[in-house]
């Protein structure tokens, strides 16, 4: 089940899940200092609440009825011609069993329902696992970008895009 994040409890669950996933997955890619910085800046309770209330983002949790903890989460934001897929993450133990594809199908349906032409995302250039997943879902490399996020850290990303048939 994919559930919209609205309540303070939902936001807290999302923060806890982000801390777990990001620490495990991104530490080898960007290092522990940048992971801690990015969690505080982008995935803390206040940051997520602000993104939802003021930034136009929609967050969702992937839940399984038999398990008390969330399995994954995603965040999207509508842009003029595309849906920006800001985040799509799964616990390590949940990868490889179709949950990511189910979450991506949900995102595609959100884009279709909004009448958008495609989905856009950014992914760290060294995140091979995610890049391979996005390519398997039909995304193509559209651009590269380096974004200064403060405190001497940058996000060195590929921009990928998926066209949504009309």
Q: What is the pLDDT of residues 34-66, one digit of tens each?
A: 999 999 999 999 999 999 999 999 999 999 876
Q: Is the pLDDT of residue 69 over 80?
A: no
Cβ-based burial of 19 (10 A; exposed 0-12, middle 13-18, buried ≥19): middle
List, for residues 101-111, the tens digit of each pLDDT value.
999 999 999 99
Read off the pTM: 0.93
Indicate the length of the chain as a whole number: 166
Cβ-based burial of 7 (10 A; exposed 0-12, middle 13-18, buried ≥19): exposed
DSSP 70-117: --EEEEEEE-SSEEEEEEEEE-GGGTTTTHHHHHHHHHHHHHHHTT-S
CATH number at residue 129: 3.40.630.30
Residue 29: give the domain boundaries: 2-163
Q: How many domains is the chain built from?
A: 1
How many alpha carbons lie under 13 Å from residue 46 in its C-beta half-sphere? 3
Q: How far is the C-alpha of 59 from the C-alpha of 61, rounded, in Å?
A: 7
């Amino acid at each position: 089940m994919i559930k919209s994040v609205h309540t303070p409890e939902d936001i807290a669950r999302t923060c806890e899940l982000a801390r777990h996933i990001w620490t495990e997955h991104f530490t080898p890619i960007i290092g522990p200092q940048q992971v801690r910085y990015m969690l505080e800046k982008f995935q803390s309770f206040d940051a997520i609440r602000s993104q939802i209330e003021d930034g136009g983002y929609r967050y969702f949790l992937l839940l399984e009825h038999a398990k008390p903890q969330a399995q994954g989460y995603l965040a999207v934001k509508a842009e003029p011609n595309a849906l920006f897929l800001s985040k799509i993450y799964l616990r390590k133990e949940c990868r490889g069993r179709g949950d990511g594809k189910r979450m991506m199908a949900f995102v595609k349906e959100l884009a279709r329902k909004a009448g958008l032409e495609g989905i856009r995302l950014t992914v760290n250039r060294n995140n091979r696992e995610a890049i391979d997943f996005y390519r398997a879902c039909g995304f193509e490399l559209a651009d590269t970008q380096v974004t200064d996020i403060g405190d001497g850290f940058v996000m060195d990303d590929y921009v990928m895009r998926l066209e949504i048939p009309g």
